[in-house]
Structure 1
Amino acid sequence: MKIAIIGAGIAGLAAADELSRAGHDIVLHDKGRGAGGRMSTRRAQTPSGKCRWDHGAQYFTVRSEAFRTRLKPLMDAGAIAQWSPRLVTAETAEGRWTFAERSLEDEMFVGTPSMNALIKAMAETHKVHWSSRVMAIETDGAVKTLVLEGGGRDGPFDAVVCAIPAEQAASLLEPVSPRLASEASGVRSAPCWAAMLAFEGDVGVDWDGASVRQGPLAWVARDGSKPGRGNAETWVLHATPEWATASLDLAPQEAADLLARAFIELIGAPSPVYSAAHRWLLAKVESGVGEAFGWDANASIGAVGDWRIAPRVEAAWQSGHSLGEFLSR
């Protein structure tokens, strides 16, 4: 079969891996300018030099042997590496912050030299059209055609797999598969503001990541502690879903300043020499479907993504991989 996959993130590429291995002709379309999505990396020139931040997914874990087997050649090639940070939990007690060390529950991995290296490596063996936004799926009997932004078209295809966030998938799928669209419509994702900071020197803490129990911050991480990042004192701050929801209309620099102020109060750091922020509208799935993938046999259309299972990188891979296995039987 000739199959189109909409979305070249972890889920879409996992499906492409399995379907290509079974001999299907696969084409992927992704609206992004390049590999990344929620595993993107931001780069900027700062007074401390050129810096980078993993402002989306901070790391990923590996709990299944199937996922570990898929990642092994990527680790051998240097596209991913294990990250062993010192982690703490930060909370206030009588007006002062305390930091309790916590152990690693799972091995933690990152792309190297940035998170999107994992996506880049997986995409290398596939035909991916970047900067290609799919506006609609047209069907004519068993034949399907993708309608692209700007008036372009791609097809014909025997099947289409939708591998984009649920809220975006719902409107795209509604005209061609109401059942899959209904499943996607029931999913809710929380937003997140991510602030990116650079400091001139060491900020004076002996840990690399903290889960924060009070205030606007949920997670802070020393990005420079990850493998392949160099020695820059760079930090990523993720806001709580509640703060992000209440602050959706902030200008990016205003959000960055507010979150940086909370971080300074948390650790007593000096002011950063650089700050910026990015708003993720669909950051973390709060309620998923509960099934690894969706497949509409009558329409020959599928749906995959972390929103089918859980908000983890591995769950996105499992979703795409499972659909690929199903269609390759």
Structure 2
Amino acid sequence: MTRVAIIGAGPAGLVAARTLVDAGADVCVFDKGRRPGGRLNTREHGAYQFDHGAQFFTVRDERISPMLEDWVSLKVVALWKGRLVRLMGNTAEVARPTKRYVGTPSMISLASELRGELEILSLTRIVGVERNQKEWHLHDELGGDHGGFDRVVIAIPAPQAVPLLSEVPALQRAAEAVGMAPSFAGMFVFAEPPPMDFDGAFVGDGPFTWIARDASKPGRPDVEAWVVHASSEWTRRHWSGDRTDIARRFLEELTMRFGSLPDTLFERTHRWGYALADGFAPGVLWDAKLGIGAVGDWCRGGRVEGALVSGIQIADKVLASG
């Protein structure tokens, strides 16, 4: 039985792992986080919850459609019928109609379904990948050695994948060519509805790129919980700022754009260091001879669906290599 190590439990890593396990491979997933999901995640604070990473996903690829049908039937995914707009200056236009899906009752629900019964070593940061004769060994930051793998799939942001690809310079160079842009996520609960007459907004100017009312998504608590994503430029300028100060700046910018806001019941910010790919690899990275590769949405044009498709593609390559 082929032993496969997968580094990263975001959507790409989880789908790759599930595909390989279903084909009979022995798979172990390593993830630095507390729970799997990557950007398919939900921040919970008492009675409040926020989809502070991926906001929704679309499905156009025929390889994902059967999965979507299963997720909907299991009630871990539902169609989001919110009113979405595009904002530019003082102009608001209705966003192009398309089917947008969310995890229910939160985005982490989809990650939990993808996980299934997978073997996942959480809170395990892999810092080195080494070829020893015919096997791969993974080294974690605490000095632990995880060995005896026939294949390795690295499913993390490109800049984090680079040092783990030292044994395959060609793949390392390809990953080095992909930049990742940061983004601050602001999470707020207002005492009353704020003066934003939409459920989600793609913002084309100013410090923000996205604003959403989480309660408009199916299965969410009925509170005025809002998520705001900052542009990469604004995020870089304020990256070292105090989180309380960043939250205050978010509210000031929202007030300048929409007018006076109600009192807040909750404020929090989160730093996403690798939110969006700045350029893309020419497809999944794979060395069939050595049995190692790298994958993620940065190999498939970004977005959740890109990550899912890339996970399937690299699983196919692993299986094809025997």
User: What amino acid is aligned across from residue 112 of structure 1 in structure 2?
Assistant: T
2:118 is aligned with 1:126? yes
The Cα of 1:209 is off from its aligned counterpart by 0.9
User: What amino acid is aligned across from residue 54 of structure 1 in structure 2?
Assistant: D
Cα distance between partner residues in 1 of 2:41 and 2:5: 23
Cα distance between partner residues in 2 of 1:325 and 1:21: 12
Equivalence map 1:66-215=2 (5 Å):
66-92=63-89, 97-104=90-97, 106-174=98-166, 176-215=167-206
The Cα of 1:214 is off from its aligned counterpart by 2.6
User: What amino acid is aligned across from residue 154 of structure 1 in structure 2?
Assistant: H
Q: Tell me the matched-pair count.
A: 318
Specify the SS of the correspondent of 2:64: helix
TM-score (norm: length of structure 2): 0.95
1:247 to 226, 234, 238: 238
Using the aligned pairs only, state the percent identity: 38
> What residue number does 2:287 align with?
296
Contact between 1:210 and 1:220, CA under 8 Å: does it hold in 2?
yes
The Cα of 1:204 is off from its aligned counterpart by 4.2
Cα distance between partner residues in 2 of 1:155 and 1:282: 28
The Cα of 1:149 is off from its aligned counterpart by 2.3
Contact between 1:165 and 1:282, CA under 8 Å: does it hold in 2?
yes
Cα distance between partner residues in 1 of 2:196 and 2:236: 30
In the TM superposition, what whole-angstrom CA distance separates every residue of 1:177-230 from its partner, at most 9, and x where no partner exists?
A: 111111110001111011001011222443101122332111100011111112
Contact between 2:192 and 2:262, CA under 8 Å: does it hold in 1?
no
User: What amino acid is aligned across from residue 208 of structure 1 in structure 2?
Assistant: D
Contact between 1:146 and 1:154, CA under 8 Å: does it hold in 2?
yes
Contact between 2:128 and 2:163, CA under 8 Å: does it hold in 1?
no
Specify the SS of the correspondent of 2:127: strand
Contact between 2:193 and 2:262, CA under 8 Å: does it hold in 1?
no
Cα distance between partner residues in 1 of 2:61 and 2:159: 28
Cα distance between partner residues in 2 of 1:128 and 1:2: 14
**Deviant stretches of 4+, over 3 Å:** none
1:56 to 53, 58, 69: 53
Contact between 1:264 and 1:270, CA under 8 Å: does it hold in 2?
no
Cα distance between partner residues in 2 of 1:300 and 1:213: 42
Equivalence map 1:264-275=2 (5 Å):
264-268=255-259, 269-275=261-267
TM-score (norm: length of structure 1): 0.93
Cα distance between partner residues in 2 of 1:242 and 1:253: 19
Specify the SS of the correspondent of 1:38: coil
User: What amino acid is aligned across from residue 273 of structure 1 in structure 2?
Assistant: L
Cα distance between partner residues in 1 of 2:265 and 2:256: 16
User: What amino acid is aligned across from residue 118 of structure 2 in structure 1?
Assistant: H
Structure 2: gaps of 5 or more residues: none
Contact between 2:286 and 2:317, CA under 8 Å: does it hold in 1?
no
Cα distance between partner residues in 2 of 1:102 and 1:307: 25
